[in-house]
Amino acid sequence: MNIKTVGIVGAGQMGNGIAHVMSLAGYDVMLNDISGDALAGAMATIDRNLERQVSREKISADDKSAALARIHTTQTLPDLGQTDLVIEAATERETIKQAIFEDLLPHLQPHTILTSNTSSISITRLASRTDRPEKFMGFHFMNPVPVMQLVELIRGIATDAETFDACAAVVEKLGKTAATAEDFPAFIVNRILMPMINEAVYTLYEGVGSVKSIDSSMRLGANHPMGPLELADFIGLDTCLAIMNVLHDGLADTKYRPCPLLTKYVEAGWLGRKSQRGFYDYRGETPVPTR
């Protein structure tokens, strides 16, 4: 199948990044969100990020103009029904994702492939609630999308070879690398990454180290580009907690129990960078540890 048009549900951090790389690779993009402000913000972010690539001479000014011209926005979800590939990039809550696919189904073309950018939820279960489980799979980009080179491709139990091959071809056209993951909780990257972040929160919770010492230790002692608590703030503490809950519920192993301190921060609304407070306070000129 030759994919030419891509529909993206959700204009947040992941959705606008996916729209950016898809349009730059030559795909016509229809970007959807329920919020007009979110769509305007997404277009401003894409413009800014493309301009950064122009200034670094990674793309030309003409490339930027052409990419922006390929992106169309809509607050009407059924408008995505005419695209060849739909990538859902909404909030990491299964009920929301299921509702989106349910609303989309009556408007899809017979050949349209449905995918989810979920970082942890069962692809097989999401697919089973649609009319095309064989044309459904996981299409998991890493954040920030324009920078990160990996895409996890996750087959559900019913995903057919044609669908997988079509999505793998898209990844190749984007100039990124695909990693094939089986449909088990959190797939590969988050199966390994999130328990490390959760353990860093336990290390803070138990008083073994401060925010600063934990992050410095992993940056300087393990050569990580970003400390685990800083990374958790970047990802979003609500997303980290949601993935840990998926791991804990799906694998029934106590080693995946979310740290109570992580839960407490989410309950407080301290979700990281997006809410200006998490393990660091971002309201001043420089981030300040909150513990």
10 annotated among ligand-binding-site residues:
yes
Report how far residue 106's alpha carbon sits from residue 55's, in angstroms, rounded to the nearest whole number.
43
Mean pLDDT in residue range 72-96 = 96
Q: Is 15 annotated as a binding residue?
A: yes
Q: Which residue bears the tokens 């989309």?
A: 104
Q: Are strands 136-141 and 71-74 parallel, antiparallel or unpaired?
A: unpaired
In the block, which residue shows the tokens 């407080």?
268
pLDDT value for 1 = 79
14 is in an annotated binding site: yes
Domains 5-182 and 190-289 alike in fold: no
> Is 55 labelled a binding residue?
no
The answer for residues whose C-beta is within 8 angstroms of residue 252's C-beta and 6 or more apart is none
Tokens of 149: 């080179």
Q: Is the Cβ–Cβ distance between 135 and 85 less than 8 Å?
A: no
Share of the chain above pLDDT 90, in %: 97
> Which pLDDT belongs to residue 264?
98
Q: Is 11 annotated as a binding residue?
A: yes
Task: Give the distance from CA 258 to its chain's centroid.
Answer: 20
- pTM of the shown model: 0.90
pLDDT, mean over the chain: 97
DSSP, residue by residue, the chain? ----EEEEE--SHHHHHHHHHHHHTT-EEEEE-S-HHHHHHHHHHHHHHHHHHHHTTSS-HHHHHHHHHTEEEES-GGGGGGSSEEEE---S-HHHHHHHHHHHGGG--TTPEEEE--SSS-HHHHHHTSS-GGGEEEEEE-SSTTT--EEEEEE-TT--HHHHHHHHHHHHHTT-EEEEE-SSTTTTHHHHHHHHHHHHHHHHHTTSS-HHHHHHHHHHHS--SS-HHHHHHHH-HHHHHHHHHHHHHHH--GGGPPPHHHHHHHHTT--BGGGTBSSEE-SSSS-EE--
* Residue 33 annotated as lining a ligand binding site: yes
Q: Which residue has the tokens 């909030």?
A: 91
pLDDT of residue 92: 86
What integer pLDDT is reported at residue 63 of this predicted model? 98
Spatial contact of 91 and 121, defined as CB atoms under 8 Å apart: no
Contacts of 71 (CB under 8 A, 6+ apart): 19, 23, 29, 31, 43, 46
Tens digit of each residue's pLDDT (9 = 90 or more) over 152-184 = 999 999 999 999 999 999 999 999 999 999 999
Instruction: Name the CATH topology of 5-182.
Output: Rossmann fold (3.40.50)
Span 218-269, pLDDT tens digits: 999 999 999 999 999 999 999 999 999 999 999 999 999 999 999 999 999 9
> Is residue 120 over pLDDT 90?
no
Domain ranges of the chain: 5-182, 190-289
Higher pLDDT, 134 or 120: 134
Q: Report residue 180 CA to chain centroid gap.
A: 16
CATH number of 190-289: 1.10.1040.10
Statement: residue 202 has pLDDT above 90: yes
pLDDT band, residue 271 (cuts 50/70/90): very high
The catalytic residue positions are 119, 140, 152, 190
Tens of pLDDT, residue by residue over 4-61, are 999 999 999 999 999 999 999 999 999 999 999 999 999 999 999 999 999 999 999 9
